[in-house]
Every structure is written in C-alpha cells, then in structure tokens.
Structure 1
Amino acid sequence: MRPADQGSRERFLDAALSVLVKRGVPSLTVRGVAEAAGASTISVYARFGGRAGLLDALYERTFDSLREMLESLPPSSSDGVADVLHLALEYRRFARESPARYALMFERPVPGFDPDPALRSAVLRTTFRMFVERVQRVSPPGADAQAAAYQLWTAMHGLVGAELMLASRTPLAEFFIPPTDEANEAVYRQGVTAMMRGLGLR
C-alpha cells in the first residue's frame, strides 16, 4: 500500500485533534499524529506536506466544529436577546469542552504557527457571520451590528479566557469566584448580559 493510501485525510485530522485534546500541543507533531492514526510519518507528509500543512488543516477543522455548534442552535425565537445569550452560553461550553482546541483557534499555543491568512479570513468570516446575524436581529435601528457583535464577542472571549486560565492553575483560596462551574457561569452570564445592555441590544 502506498503511504498516501494508509488513511483518508479525515482520519489524520481526527487523530490530530485527539492528540491535541488528550496530550496537548507538545505532542502535536507529524510523528505523534502518525502514531495516533496508526500510519507512517510519510503518509502524513503525503497528505499535508508537513507540520505546517497539518496544523492549517487542523485549525480549519476546529472552526468547522464551532460552525457546527452554531448551526445546531435552535431557530430564532420571538426573544432575540435570549437567543443571543443562549449562543453566548453555548460558546462558553464549547471553549470549556476543549481548552486546547480553543487555544489553537484563538491563541498562539504552537510556537511559530501562523495560520494561512486566506484560511483565517475564510473560517472567521463564516462563523462570525452567523454570530452577526443573531446580533443584528436585536440591534437598535441604525446601529452597526457587525461592530456590536465584535464587541460582544470580545467580552465573551475575555470572560471565558480568564476562566480557562484560572482553571488551569491552583485555585486561590480567597478569590471572590469559587472554583465551580456554577459560579463561573453566573459571572459569565452577568458579564455578557451587562455588555448586551450596554450595546442597547433589545
């Protein structure tokens, strides 16, 4: 069997995502992914051209997961603000589900890895458009829904990013937020709600 025939592209991406989630960024190498897929390193090179190509493909796959989450949300209801809050809570769940995946999407956990600009534009345009559509329904007349959506997303991102950072370290005994999911969700919900109110979403 030729190296390129040892498995489909999807098989290798599944293996790469598994390595990222279970073993972290340091194991996200051509060899590590090949071993997880039960194939040779040559087969990974044949499919992706090397680690950079593999990481680009994995980056795209992570955004596919976010898009699928957004597509799975219930249809718009008569309460558009509640719909946006529900989206925000699902976004938090998505981030908490796999901090390593979330970091690959929005941080720089892999030294030297800079996703292809055209790829970044494509995946962000697709997922962000879906977010803007929800925000647009509840934006005041004449408001810039895209700017409002971006400001709301940065609030969501900041809140969940801080939560993930704190969760990755030893809890502080006297910190005002108890290290529980319920307490963190309450703070996140309050922050997102305050931002929506400040943006005039209704």
Structure 2
Amino acid sequence: MNIAKRKILQAASELFLEGGIAALSVRSIAKKAGVSTIGIYSHFQGKEGILDELYIQGFELVMQAMDFERKELTAKDIVLKGVRGYFAMADVHEGHYRLIFGESDSRYTPSEEAKAVAEKAFGQLLNVTALLLPEKASMALKQKNALEIWAFVHGYVSLKHHAVASIFETPDWYTMAEEAVSVHIDAILAKPENQA
C-alpha cells in the first residue's frame, strides 16, 4: 500500500475514533491526511471505499491476533493466547475495532468483499475455539462455544472503552476477562460430552 493510502486510512481511523461515522467526510479525511479530495476519490472512490478498507483491515487484524505458533500448547492455552491477541488488537487499533464491532450506523453497509473477510475471521475464531471440543462435535456446538467466548471478550473490551469504565477504580479489564474466559473454558472441557 502506498504512503498516500496509508495516510488516508490513518486519518480516517483517527477521525472515526473521535466522532464515529458522522465525523467522516471526504473533506475532513483529506484535510487530516494532508491530501486533496481528488486523492481520496482516486484511491478509494470516496468515503464508502475508505470505510470498507478500514472494515477489512479490522477483521484482518482480528485474524492476525489468532494466527500464531501453536506447537506444544494445550487447546485452552491456544484459546487464551488468541484472547490476549484480540485484546491487544482492540487497544492498538481502537478505531478499527469500533468500526467492525461497536459503531453500527445506517450510513455504512459493508460491501460483499468486506462481509466475506468478516466471515473468514469468524471462521478462524470458530477453528480456534473448536480445539476445545472433540472432533465429532456438531457445527452448532462449535458455533455456540465460539459465540460464547467472543461475547465474553467483546463485552470486556466494550466496557473498557465505554464511558462507564471511568466510574470504577481502574480495574484490569483484560485480566478479569481472561479469568472469566478461563473459567468458561474449564466448564466446556468438564462436560462429559466434550471429553474425547
């Protein structure tokens, strides 16, 4: 990706973090990135193209967070390492995170390409969490477990980023989340039907 495109996406991500989709206009992105509005259209065909690229990048970052060497790790350790990667991604790329998970807005609908990347990311999460189950487990059970773990993780990330977080004495949100996910994983592993 060339420098101008990177600057445009960085500017859009920062503006999105400051004010959501409402803060994004071709003019405001161009000004923050230090490029012309024509440059925006030539690289992305406007605001929709920029949002799509940020959405795709966000889910690619989620997949990268779950892509690591798994040798000599237990299934539980693999899931917890993926959870820690997810938390790190949510902190470092908060604008992307909020676009893909937290800031739905009728002014933006992901393209089919963007939806396909999101589906691929969920597939990767499904594959990671399926390691907790016997190979013969049904797809419905694999999806249920993946969604439960994702709900834990997303809930903690959302609370950490939410204004309500300021009323608490700075809890370590991610340690709390990891402990909750760990307990849930132990419960999954303890079910007789989930033991190989």
TM-superposed deviation, 1:99: 3.0
| Structure 1 runs not aligned, ≥5 long | 1-5
Specify the alignment match of 2:44 in structure 1: 48
In structure 2, the partner of 1:197 is 186
Deviation at 1:44, TM superposition (A): 0.9
The Cα offsets for residues 79-136 of structure 1, whole Å up to 9 and x where unpaired, read as 12111111112212221334332110112255522222x2343112222222222222
What is the CA–CA distance in structure 1 between the aligned matches of 2:73 and 2:164, rounded to whole Å?
41
Mapping for residues 31-42 of structure 1, pairs under 5 Å? 31-42=27-38
Matched with 2:143 is 146
| Matched residues, number | 186
Residue pair 1:76, 1:83 contacting (<8 A) in 2 also: no
Question: Quick one: which of 108, 120, 127 aligns to 1:126?
Answer: 120
Does the 8 A contact of 2:26 with 2:37 survive in 1?
yes
User: 1:76, 1:110 → 2: CA distance?
Assistant: 41
Whether 2:26 is the aligned partner of 1:30: answer yes
Task: Say if 1:84 and 1:134, in contact at 8 Å, map to a contact too.
Answer: yes
- Aligned: 1:13 with 2:14: no
Amino acid at match of 1:125: E
Question: Hey, what's the Cα distance between the residues in 2 that align with 1:8 and 1:40?
Answer: 10
Query: Structure 1 residue 51: deviation in Å?
Result: 1.5
Shift of 1:170: 6.7
Give the corresponding residue for 1:162. Answer: 159
Kindly, what percent of the aligned residue pairs are identical?
A: 24
More helix by share: 2
2:107 partner amino acid: G
Give the secondary-structure state (helix, strand or coil) at the position aligned to 2:137: coil
TM-score (norm 1): 0.76
Counterpart in 1 of 2:174? 185
| Cα deviation code 1:48-95 (max 9, x no counterpart) | 222122211221122222223333x23343412111111112212221
Structure 2: distance between partners of 1:146 and 1:111: 27
- CA contact under 8 A between 1:30 and 1:44: conserved in structure 2? yes
Tell whether 2:103 aligns with 1:108: yes
Q: What is the identity, as a one-letter code, of the residue corresponding to 1:126?
A: K
Aligned counterparts of 2:166 and 2:102: Cα–Cα separation in 1 = 23
Q: Where does the alignment leave 5 or more consecutive residues of structure 2 unmatched?
A: none
